Amino acid sequence: MMNELSCFKAYDVRGRIPDQLNADIAYRIGRAYAEFLKPKNVVVGYDIRLTSQELCASLSRGLTEAGADVINIGQCGTEEVYFATSYLQADGGIIITASHNPADYNGMKFVREGSRPISGDTGLDEIKTLAEKSVFPAADKSGSISFEDTKPGYIDHLLGYVDVDGLKPLNIVCNAGNGGAGSAIDAIELFLPFNFIKLHHQADGTFPNGVPNPLLVENRQATIDAIQDNNADLGIAWDGDFDRCFFFDENGRFIEGYYIVGLLAQSFLAGEAGATIIHDPRLIWNTVEIARAGGGKAVQCKTGHAFIKERMRKEDAVYGGEMSAHHYFRDFFYCDSGMVPWLLVVELMAKSGKTLSELIDERVQAYPVSGEINRQIENPPELLATIEHKYSVQAESIDRTDGLGMTFTDWRFNLRLSNTEPVVRLNVESRGDAALMHEKTEELLALMQQA
């Protein structure tokens, strides 16, 4: 009889320990992954959670009993598995991580050769079915486990994104949230002219300072206080597996991810005229304008890492950005990294001679935004239909790339259902008119309240 595994999601595996995910399930996932992909070798790494090493051992046993060799790169961030899979030319990679989920959760993210993502429609559903059936053929021979330190190669790769000699000394507050980013900062700081003021730096899977998720407003204050107390030039915070990074300017202001997408687009276009930039549909005007001004092309794509990575490959895009702080790079195997973005931002500061607030303020004034507002709605399709009916007469264009996007002369909005939570997400922006943006945000929220 099949045992339904609720830990399989649209893009990855995530579940509460031990009822939704445990050593037995991890073993079955290893067997199923190997059965599906038939890899000769698989890179495996794990995050800082207390259950990660046990799950990694069971996953590895499943892989080796299926005949695959395991290359264990140890405790690391998600992007280090992406890096190692391509760097070592392995047939696949799996990271044990639950990123910013609560401490009693864990999970896995999967790639195949070339660090290509495996999600629902590219194999994850098949892996789920095989793991649920739990009937596996005997392998001709068992695989082996080897241990590889890919950190030096990874750090060397990161440094290749910037002109290290052109960087200026800075005081940088870095908040790892007791996740995995601390060890990466320790490894890279030896090569950089920065003074890092380290907060919640030690990896600790009990999360003594709260779950590492800088999108939670209550998690930001420690970073803000440290910037102000140390007269720092900027602050950076990461989620647990550090595939996302978040920025604070020298005044302690949290920077919306949308404006960072624009800055990174600007950085790449300065070095590669005519380059293609991929962006998500939630907030777009700033990115489109920056791409046009830099002689490049902005291409809109459905939200979600699998969609962005696929579109980047199709368009040969140099960079892809989501306002949720996921940033993707062609030279990083089209994968997302939480380390490359801040390196590019500090290089931009050095080249321009501007503070982070000076780089950002002009764009904030040109395109004020609501920030993403989440609401639980009982009947989302009905809400989207009601809002479309109300605004369609005035709308200049309607976009359904992801949810409902409607554009008017001086403002626009996007309303979409979350891929991972039972919520509707609203984003509003205007052309240089903060009062109009606030007015329209309140108007839409009132309609959502009635739904």
Catalytic residues: 99
Residue 272, SS3 per DSSP: coil
Cα(78)–Cα(45) distance, integer angstroms: 8
CB 396 within 8 A of CB 407: yes
The dihedral built from the CA positions of residue 256, 162, 356 and 359, taken in this order, carries a sign that is negative
Residue 21, SS3 per DSSP: coil
- The secondary structure of residue 43, as a DSSP letter, is E
Amino acid at 222: A
Q: Half-sphere exposure of 302 toward its Cβ, with a 13 Å CA cutoff?
A: 11
Residue 255, SS3 per DSSP: coil
b/e burial code for range 232-268 (CB count within 10 A of at least 16 → b) = bbbbbbbbbbbbbbbbbbbebbbbbbbbbbbbbbbbb
Residue 120, φ and ψ in degrees, nearest 5: -45, -50
